[in-house]
Structure 1
Amino acid sequence: MPARFPLDIRQIYVDPQAARLPRGQDILNRFPDAERIEVTSHWNIPGLHGNAGLVKDWLRIKRQILVLGVRKTLKMRPNGRSADFIAPGMANGCALSCAYCYVPRHKGYANPISTFANIDDVMTALSRHANVLGAKVEPNPVDPFAWVYDLGENSDLSVDALISENVRDLVTLFRSLPNAKASFATKYVNRTLLTYDPQGRTRLRFSLMPASIARVVDIGTSPIHERLAAINDFVGAGYEVHLNFSPVIVYEGWTTAYTELFRQVDAALSPQAKAQLAAEVIFLTHNAGLHEVNLGWHPKAERLLWTPQWQETKRSEYGGENLRYRRGLKGQAVKHFTTLLRRELPYCTVRYAF
């Protein structure tokens, strides 16, 4: 069975500036029965953001509430791992409920999708940036020929495509940028994307983990077997499809589970999919604030994610304090994981692992 449809929008918090734009009008017309509440900022909605009493309604809010705003920051941030640059995303937040997601740390106790209506501004900024860069003359681990832009750092574009045509417009844009590719990771199989005709200019990264763990921490997502079954179809539709093993969670028996997952991947993929396959590997990073939020709606997940006996505190590049696996343990775990991956999927390039 496919994952349930993740949206049942009943309330939309609307920035009037967004409502005046054509894409904003399209989104409002897509949900005509939803209650509309005018707000001055998509980042500061009293009674929604920072309200600890809403944590019990975590799943309902994600499905039933949408925030419609305007993207103000249009900068391209250098990356060097998943992409060369992080593009200004057209959404923030997600209707899916992965327990380890870092985006809720910035919003408090409610994390519905905030989607942005000024798609033309973002596409203009992307085109200008790619044109200034010119050709990519030196290959790097991100891509040997194209500048890669991650479009979904703070959302899942397969879900965003249920809300508006923003994703289709972005895939269409990158067909016209000969020196650039779009990229995004997803945990939701939206087969409408198969009609977008990316012509090899969009890289879709299917996130994978052992199914038994995904059932606990990947709430509302497409089941792992459904993601695996979709890979060949997306390759056939013109996408470059990579794998995103993220987050890798350490628990008793984790290496046995990943060995089985790698064998499931091998059995599922066509020769065409295998020939273009690459992967990125990211071990779990957790956070005390997110831990407290999760205890309010999904404490079972924290038995996997919050393991202080194996974790240590480390300050992030943005100044926050996160929990990561202890240095020695993590180094051994990364080495063991990549050894297993290369043994079971020798045709899969590991672009990076940490």
Structure 2
Amino acid sequence: MTNLDLFSPPPAPVRVPPPGPGPLDRLLKVARIYLEPGVVEHARGREILARFPDAERVEVPSHQNIPGLFGNAGNVEAWNRIKGSTLVLGVKKTLSFVANDRSSDFIAPSTANGCVMACAYCYVPRNKGYANPVTVFVNIDRISEALRKHAHKRGPKLAPNSVDPRCWVYDIGCNSDCSADAALSDNVRDLVRLFTTLPNAKGSFATKRVNRELLTYEPQGKTRVRFSLMPHAQAKLLDVRTDPIAERIAAIDDFVAAGYEVHLNFSPVVLQEGWQAAYAELFQQVDAGIGAKAKAQLACEIIFLTHNAGLHEVNLRWHPKAEAVLWTPETQETKVSQGGGVNVRYRTGFKGRHVAEFKDLLARHLPYCRVRYAF
């Protein structure tokens, strides 16, 4: 057996999901599917289309340019209606890997972008104009092969870092929520399975949804799930169409038992009056809600809010109450992101003091929760 053979996943049978209601039925009742011409050439594309046989199909030249959908300011008022009725199917053209030193070592080529959920602070809509339905990419075979080759080329991880001590970690859900994606296709299951065959690599994704079908995937410790948490009252305002915070916490032990590494993602931390008491209550809820096995492996990332002027203007037209806490010019300053985007964040100095205060509060209530990074 060659070294390359160690990275080759065994062949998997094609599974055609049955049509009809599924885990996302409350959030997504697909009435219209936009699809690129090449979608039907892929087995995954045909599987997804079979799941929604009654949906109108509209062929478009590109998933990135859909006339009347993206860039149409009139769609803002229909923000959640579009999310709840529209699906886009595309073929991923660019299979690039982006180096990252926070949540992962690399951001993998995405198998989806956009989301059926509608968190008010989400950065993905900044790139999709005035509508942000979920787009699923159907060429999972090419994406998986690119991941396999990239991991093989990297070889062993010789020096531990804050991401992981042994494995190269690939974020597979940077532009979507994999728990929701898994209810639309088998893309996520295929990736979780792939990582069990890569001795030097691990998958990772953050989620605000509990999809218990993932408990059947047998990840063997090679996929990290980061449950995103914020205080309950704040989540009710900002985490639109997501699962309740209590349900996310209640799922942690089950995901650990199923073979996932489970971390917490305190993101975004939105500062408003009384935040210290609200987070202390959240930390106590976590402590009371998880068992010894989960606590022994627990780590977290802490990400303070980054916002965007364009998204602010969009949000004012569909969810202005959220902007009352997200857009606070008196405490924010302009920031150029790693990707070159012009955003706003909490002011230097002001932010640093509150990051330190957050970490101290966490250490008092969850002393076993290691902080992988905070910014």
**1:4 Cα offset (Å):** 7.4
Q: Which residue of 2 aligns with 1:286?
A: 307
1:104 lines up with 2:125 in the alignment: yes
Which of these residues, 149, 174, 189, is aligned with residue 128 of structure 1?
149
Q: Which residue of 2 aligns with 1:114?
A: 135
Deviations 1:24-59 (A, max 9, x none): 000100111110000010000010001000101100
* Counterpart-to-counterpart distance in 2, 1:309 and 1:60: 33
Please show how residues 64-83 of structure 1 align to structure 2 within 5 Å: 64-83=85-104
- Do the aligned partners of 2:24 and 2:183 also contact (CA within 8 Å) in 1? no
- Do the aligned partners of 1:11 and 1:34 also contact (CA within 8 Å) in 2? yes
1:37 lines up with 2:48 in the alignment: no
Which of these residues, 15, 19, 34, is aligned with residue 13 of structure 1?
34
* Counterpart-to-counterpart distance in 2, 1:260 and 1:199: 32
* Counterpart-to-counterpart distance in 1, 2:209 and 2:29: 16
- Do the aligned partners of 1:3 and 1:221 also contact (CA within 8 Å) in 2? no
Q: Which residue of 2 aligns with 1:243?
A: 264
Q: Which residue of 2 aligns with 1:143?
A: 164
Which of these residues, 201, 211, 220, is aligned with residue 180 of structure 1?
201
1:94 lines up with 2:135 in the alignment: no
Deviations 1:79-110 (A, max 9, x none): 01000000001001001000000000011110
- Do the aligned partners of 2:222 and 2:260 also contact (CA within 8 Å) in 1? yes
* Counterpart-to-counterpart distance in 2, 1:338 and 1:100: 22
1:22 lines up with 2:43 in the alignment: yes
1:334 lines up with 2:352 in the alignment: no
* Counterpart-to-counterpart distance in 2, 1:145 and 1:331: 30
* Counterpart-to-counterpart distance in 1, 2:300 and 2:156: 24
Report the 3-state secondary structure (helix = DSSP H, G, I; strand = E; otherwise coil) of the residue aligned with 1:203.
strand
- Do the aligned partners of 1:186 and 1:205 also contact (CA within 8 Å) in 2? yes
1:224 lines up with 2:245 in the alignment: yes
**1:321 Cα offset (Å):** 1.7
**1:5 Cα offset (Å):** 3.0
* Counterpart-to-counterpart distance in 1, 2:155 and 2:343: 37
- Counterpart residue identity of residue 295, structure 2: K
1:167 lines up with 2:167 in the alignment: no
Gaps in structure 2 of 5+ consecutive residues: 1-22
Deviations 1:156-201 (A, max 9, x none): 0000011100000000000101111000000000111011110100
* Counterpart-to-counterpart distance in 1, 2:26 and 2:199: 35
- Counterpart residue identity of residue 171, structure 1: V
**1:3 Cα offset (Å):** 9.1
- Do the aligned partners of 2:298 and 2:370 also contact (CA within 8 Å) in 1? yes
* Counterpart-to-counterpart distance in 2, 1:310 and 1:193: 40
Report the 3-state secondary structure (helix = DSSP H, G, I; strand = E; otherwise coil) of the residue aligned with 1:129.
helix
**1:215 Cα offset (Å):** 0.0
* Counterpart-to-counterpart distance in 1, 2:344 and 2:155: 39
Report the 3-state secondary structure (helix = DSSP H, G, I; strand = E; otherwise coil) of the residue aligned with 1:245.
strand
Q: Which residue of 1 aligns with 2:233?
A: 212
- Counterpart residue identity of residue 160, structure 1: D
RMSD of equivalent CA atoms = 1.1
Deviations 1:209-248 (A, max 9, x none): 0000000000000000000000000000000000000000
- Counterpart residue identity of residue 338, structure 1: K
Report the 3-state secondary structure (helix = DSSP H, G, I; strand = E; otherwise coil) of the residue aligned with 1:327.
coil
Distance 1:31 1:3, change over 3 A: closer
* Counterpart-to-counterpart distance in 2, 1:316 and 1:159: 27
Percent of pairs with identical residues:
64
* Counterpart-to-counterpart distance in 1, 2:338 and 2:154: 26
- Do the aligned partners of 1:39 and 1:45 also contact (CA within 8 Å) in 2? yes
* Number of matched pairs: 353
* Counterpart-to-counterpart distance in 2, 1:283 and 1:3: 29
Deviations 1:260-300 (A, max 9, x none): 10111000010000000000000000000000110111001
- Do the aligned partners of 2:24 and 2:180 also contact (CA within 8 Å) in 1? no
Q: Which residue of 1 aligns with 2:71?
A: 50
Greater displacement, 6-15 / 202-211: 6-15
- Do the aligned partners of 1:248 and 1:282 also contact (CA within 8 Å) in 2? yes
- Do the aligned partners of 1:3 and 1:220 also contact (CA within 8 Å) in 2? no
- Counterpart residue identity of residue 90, structure 2: G
Per the normalisation by structure 1, the TM-score is 0.98
* Counterpart-to-counterpart distance in 1, 2:29 and 2:126: 24
Report the 3-state secondary structure (helix = DSSP H, G, I; strand = E; otherwise coil) of the residue aligned with 2:135.
strand
Gaps in structure 1 of 5+ consecutive residues: none
- Counterpart residue identity of residue 177, structure 1: L
- Counterpart residue identity of residue 272, structure 1: K
- Counterpart residue identity of residue 14, structure 1: L
Report the 3-state secondary structure (helix = DSSP H, G, I; strand = E; otherwise coil) of the residue aligned with 1:313.
strand
**1:320 Cα offset (Å):** 2.4
1:191 lines up with 2:212 in the alignment: yes
Q: Which residue of 2 aligns with 1:325?
A: 346
